[in-house]
Amino acid sequence: MTADTLNPAKAGLRAWLTTDTPASRGHARMVQAYLGWLSLTRNPLALLGLAILVVLIAVSALAPWIAPHDPLAQELTNRLQPPGSPGHLFGTDELGRDILSRIIHGASITLYIVTLVAVTAPVVGLVIGTLAGYIGGWTDTVLMRLTDIFLAFPRLVLALAFVAALGPGIENAVLAIAITSWPPYARLARAETLTVRHQDYISAIRLQGASATRIIAGHVMPLCLSSVIVRVTLDMAGIILTAAGLGFLGLGAQPPIPEWGAMISSGRKFLLDQWWVATMPGLAIFIVSLGFNLLGDGLRDILDPRSGQ
């Protein structure tokens, strides 16, 4: 706090960001964002989660410059070196490739999968759930029975079936994960919609003559969004694991792409004598999943309308 009083520009910015009387739409939004950020900083574990994600993003963006070796370069004379051997911090795999470099390059693949699933499955679920909840009647029955059918299958098994039908590869793995992971979001969004659809503020906008589309998109969805975002961050760990699982079964990323799940898969042959080949990518999956879970817990405290305000 003393640093702020010493620095008038910073103190002015802080006052501007915490004012009760914002002067424009953008200003009001920034005040809300800043207050959200302040409550996030009060939760050290959530900050740790956020830091892990920032590191993941930075690593995947800078992979070509920070990776010590080419992730695909084989060196058969130098295979299965233990961690800490010269030039190979995490050791080498069965083809003599540097495991650290492969994990660094694999970060962008993990990020790619996570982002693609995050922008498809929750959006589809949100649209279906809010439509079903707001319109009700036959629409609700049809959409929810469809959701039930998808929910009835175990997720990984259904994803396996889709990948088997579509052919192996990262894109198809992402598609399969997205197809299998939207139903919980639809359920969640429908439940939230049912609690808000008879609120007075929805009646009020109906009485202003707003169309159903405007009400769902502008009034119902923003209220469902926070619980969906929380659910997404908490599900991310599961999505990474499913992607790794598909990679492990040889249905996700194909060799020689350094996907973490596929790396564990190839390392399992050496698990007893050369433990690091499977353990290092496993640790990476563990840390990133943990980061998403911690952030999700923190976001729940900030965004969940039931937890405050």
| Residues of this chain that bind another protein (CB under 8 A) | 20-25, 27-28, 32, 199-201, 203-210, 214, 218-219, 222-223, 305, 309
Minimal CA–CA distance to 130: which of 28, 24, 29, 202? 202
Provide, rounded to whole angstroms, the least separation between the CB of residue 202 and another protein. Answer: 8
Query: Hey, what are 240's tokens?
Result: 């990474």
Cβ atoms within 10 Å of 27's Cβ, excluding its own:
14
Query: Hey, what are 245's tokens?
Result: 């699982």
Separation between Cα atoms, residue 2 and residue 25, nearest integer Å: 31
Cβ atoms 301, 36 nearer than 8 A? no
> Per-residue DSSP letters for 66-121?
H-SS-TT---GGGTTPPTTBTTBTT-B-TT--BHHHHHHHHHHHHHHHHHHHHHHH
Minimal CA–CA distance to 56: which of 181, 236, 178, 247? 236
Separation between Cα atoms, residue 149 and residue 183, nearest integer Å: 9
Provide, rounded to whole angstroms, the least separation between the CB of residue 33 and another protein. Answer: 13
Provide, rounded to whole angstroms, the least separation between the CB of residue 185 and another protein. Answer: 19
Of residues 22 and 136, the one with the C-beta less far from another protein? 22
Q: What is the largest CA-CA distance in the chain?
A: 77
Cβ atoms within 10 Å of 256's Cβ, excluding its own:
14
Of residues 86 and 137, the one with the C-beta less far from another protein? 137
Query: Hey, what are 242's tokens?
Result: 């499913």
Provide, rounded to whole angstroms, the least separation between the CB of residue 189 and another protein. Answer: 15
Helix, strand, coil in percent for the chain, rounding step 5: 75, 0, 20
Separation between Cα atoms, residue 121 and residue 129, nearest integer Å: 12
Of residues 51 and 212, the one with the C-beta less far from another protein? 212
Of residues 35 and 287, the one with the C-beta less far from another protein? 35
Of residues 14 and 206, the one with the C-beta less far from another protein? 206
Query: Hey, what are 106's tokens?
Result: 């694999």
Provide, rounded to whole angstroms, the least separation between the CB of residue 229 and another protein. Answer: 13
Of residues 92 and 227, the one with the C-beta less far from another protein? 227
Provide, rounded to whole angstroms, the least separation between the CB of residue 206 and another protein. Answer: 7
Of residues 220 and 257, the one with the C-beta less far from another protein? 220
Provide, rounded to whole angstroms, the least separation between the CB of residue 302 and another protein. Answer: 13
